[in-house]
Amino acid sequence: MMNHNPAQHGDAKQTANKASALIAPDNFPLAYYNMPKAACTTIKNILFRIQHGTWNTDPVGIHRQIRFDDVLLRGQAFSAHRKLKRFDRPYIVFTFVRDPSARAYSAFVEKIWATGSYAFPRIRELLARSYGFTLPALENGNATPQEVGAGFRQFLRFVADNLAGKTPTPVNAHWAVQSRRIHSARPHDTLGFVGRVENFAEDMSYLLHRAGWDDPTITGQRYNEGPRPPFTLHEVMDGDTARLLKQIYRDDYTAFDYRAPGEGA
């Protein structure tokens, strides 16, 4: 499904940095509204390939490169470029979204359960201190599905509190509600296209063709910096987990027509 319409209700507590959210190549009329845990690494590398003519030799490092090495335009640099540059086609501001349940579990696995360079140790410490989190690190490899499920539920309770402004830490885009994050974009950055990760190749090909890029092979690259968990979301799911996911991400299930946990086919 393409050109989805996000929900029309926002959340002022989701404080994404709108000035730096847009990322773009300097030679093509596309601007990406960053959506972590929804193929963002792949999308940034595709934009890198468009601008530089070659694939990045450190694809997972693209996030740091954009922030510190200016390998793509962002923030004020993009705003100034858009005013000066004249393309044959208008800019398309786009993003991709992902099934909220899978996205939340992916954020939990990479940022909380794992302890690698992309993890959030301070959030893990907060979970241990305030939510009873005792799950051994993913790298230890000795947790049961029941233990992982309990740890995931503790994370979701934190997320619910975090989104409600009840924690000392700001909302992080990795678990922010996608539809509200999109709704918070600045008026002149209104999205013209929202694709789905589950239909990535087709949706990205459509988007690139619409913007004037006709090399279909570019959508074949996929990158994922997250560790692979030993248990699927289905294996750690129970009724409480399903209830928390539906409570937290109700807007996303509705806005993007995803099936909430426990709903029939």
What's the CA gap between 205 and 127, in Å, rounded? 40
The span from the CA of 120 to the CA of 226, in Å, is 13
Query: Above 70 in pLDDT, residue 3?
Result: no
> What's 164's DSSP letter?
T
Domain locations along the chain: 18-99+188-220, 101-174+228-255
> From CA 39, how far away is CA 117, in angstroms rounded?
19
Average of pLDDT values for 19-48?
A: 91
Percent of the chain with pLDDT over 90: 72
Residue 63, H or E segment: helix 62-64
Q: Tell me whether strands 193-196 and 30-33 are parallel, antiparallel or unpaired.
A: unpaired
Confidence (pLDDT) at 195: 97
Residue 213 above 60 pLDDT?
A: yes
Asked if the model's pLDDT at residue 126 lies above 80, the reply is yes
* CA 103 from centroid of its chain's CA atoms: 7
pLDDT tens for each residue of 58-72: 999 999 999 999 999
Q: State pTM to two decimals.
A: 0.88
